[in-house]
Chains A and B, each alone.
Chain A
């Protein structure tokens, strides 16, 4: 009886040793994965930080003003009447059609603008104007390639 119990105990301890061995190496692996994930997160955060800074650099008011002057001649500063309470804004006519829209063409991934033919009086209702997105985009890309890069 005692010998059986010894064997059982031995088996129990063996099982425990194997289990602990497994747990130890599993924990080690998980730890390594965690460390790698943390490193990856830190690297991604750093990359995001740099991208945010590049975005801020690209959005310098002076640069945007120049781009707007060069490529969006219809755009101008807000005027005194631009801000009004919601109840004073006229209701949009039901038959008003957009005067421009942007599409993304596959596979070149470039923007194109297509001005819809429409009634001039309708165009005047909104401040929208047809815009030449390909030119704008080319200019933006050209400008970006010249811009100081942190990456």
Chain B
């Protein structure tokens, strides 16, 4: 066993060397050994110096790199990270209209909370809070704050800075604040049925807010809708005027881009206050544009006409016998204004003959009619980006009588949005594209869509719709300076297994400019009443067509449409 021997040398190796020197007893050897020892020490010192030098050189190089080279390349990564998205990661995304106008956004606001176990002066605190929040139920709060086992009780959320300061000034150590997100809807009721609303924890409960809830929660880029706030205002104002004038309880109007199917305006009246949906009535909360389903009546004759022309069942220059009543089994079909003898196709649509429409549908056949309506999305729920959509209602057995009634819009209940979406395909050259509330990139190519009718059929449908406004029931839709085409609709509302003649849906479905449709618009008024000057009528031609006219006259310049050139037919 070798024992460690203490030595004067500072190192074991030196001690070993000293021992060997002692053993050899030679002075030269000792000097040599001492020289080697010094050399080794010096070598170690240099080595250590070099290691430190290397380390500090590395640090210095990194400093130079960060300060000079990386700085020149751009901001430091840590700053970029802090200033970029991650800081806003938990903020619910903004919702904008197609022009960047804000429809919904989150701001931080204070919420006051209490820790009951730390409250020192309960009565003084409650008195102070009662003065700051006169509407607060102080007794209810007293009960909650008296529970000393609780450590967290909300006092009031969504405080204004003034309220926050006032609560702070109470000086109560048991009160404190949280910073919470608060959803703001700057356009209020105007876009409520489209945008929807959130609960107090900013989770979407209706409209686009609910449909895109998850992606909005992720807080990425703003969600840009296809809605145009200016257009929405005009449509809402004119629809409200029609509803008021005809003492109707409700109505809806939708303006769609005829080619892209972007929804520029979707109005359902009455609307609601998105800040306080819980206190609104069911009538206000019901979305009549996309959720409620209606039998919209004669506007469906447009689809019957298109199906008949497309299938070759009728020609535009053909005449059909419209003498009534038309009997299907024990059912009798009559026209609002009875006609006798034959009538050409244009007149059947422009005079809105149920019998003529029914005969066209019978020629098409029930299977082809059902297939055609299905291809227009009228037999399945709408593919629109709001929570409020519903499934159309149609008969389980689609026989002869159903074919006839559906040809003029009775027996098939769909949402107004689906009808205007299908109508766009009738006038835009024959391509169906599902309606969307999301703004389309104008530089991106159009979606392919589905061809449902030929361009020739679409052209013929436009001719007929033009004729309806010039010569038929849609005369009051004729807008000053613009060529419009469309179809009126007046439908009795279903009631207890039959139809109620005193409760009607009046609508007008049209396109403008009709020679090259860019936009389609549906105006629908629920249960209008006849007024002075409407000759006792409350039909689509009297109620919805004038509103349609005013909306076109006001929105067409906003949409950049030029005034129509004088019509060569009129000048002849």
Contacts and interface: CB of A to CB of B under 8 A. Distances in A.
B556 A80 contact: yes
Interface string B225-242: 000011011000100000
Interface string B45-65: 000010010001001000100
Contacts of B560: 83
Interface stretch (A48-56, A96-104, A109-117, A133-141): A48-56
B184 interface: yes
A124 interface: no
Nearest to B562: A83
Interface in A109-150: 149-150
Nearest to B76: A34
B554 A77 contact: yes
A151 interface: yes
A84 B184 CA distance: 38
A9 B556 CA distance: 85
A93 interface: no
5 contacts: A49-B105, A61-B187, A65-B233, A80-B481, A84-B563
Contact of A151 (B79, B161, B186, B557): B161
B447 interface: no
Interface in A1-22: 2, 9, 13, 16, 20
A46 B563 contact: no
Given A53-B102, A80-B482, A42 B87 contact: yes
Contacts of B230: 61
Given A60-B187, A82-B557, A53 B79 contact: no
B2 interface: no
A81 B563 contact: yes
B160 interface: yes
B296 interface: no
B400 interface: no
B379 interface: no
Max chain A C-beta neighbours (<10 A), residue from B101, B184, B186:
B186
Interface string A35-64: 000100110001001101100110111100
Given A42-B87, A53-B184, A151-B161, A80 B553 contact: yes
Contacts of B69: none
Contacts of A150: 107, 109, 184
Contact of B49 (A9, A38, A46, A53): A9
Contacts of B563: 80-81, 83-84
Max chain A C-beta neighbours (<10 A), residue from B187, B237, B479:
B187
A81 B557 CA distance: 8
Contacts of A81: 481, 563
Given A79-B481, A83-B557, A60 B101 contact: no
A82 B557 CA distance: 6
Contacts of B107: 46, 49-50, 53, 150
Contacts of B187: 56, 60-61
A56 B105 CA distance: 11
Nearest to B88: A45
B481 A149 contact: no
B82 interface: yes
Given A57-B186, A61-B229, 10 more contacts: A13-B52, A20-B59, A38-B79, A38-B83, A49-B107, A56-B101, A56-B186, A59-B101, A82-B557, A83-B560
Nearest to A151: B161
Contacts of A79: 480-481, 553, 557
Given A61-B230, A62-B190, A80 B56 contact: no
B13 interface: no
A85 interface: yes
Contacts of A52: 102, 105
Given A53-B184, A61-B230, A83 B190 contact: no
Max chain B C-beta neighbours (<10 A), residue from A41, A46, A49, A65:
A49
Interface string B438-482: 000000000000000000000000000000000000000001111
Nearest to A46: B108
Given A42-B87, A53-B184, A77 B108 contact: no
A56 B102 contact: yes
Interface string B550-572: 00011011101111100000000
Interface in B87-137: 87, 101-102, 105, 107-109
Nearest to A34: B79
Contacts of B530: none
A82 to B, nearest CB: 5
Contact of B233 (A2, A46, A61, A83): A61
Contacts of A82: 557
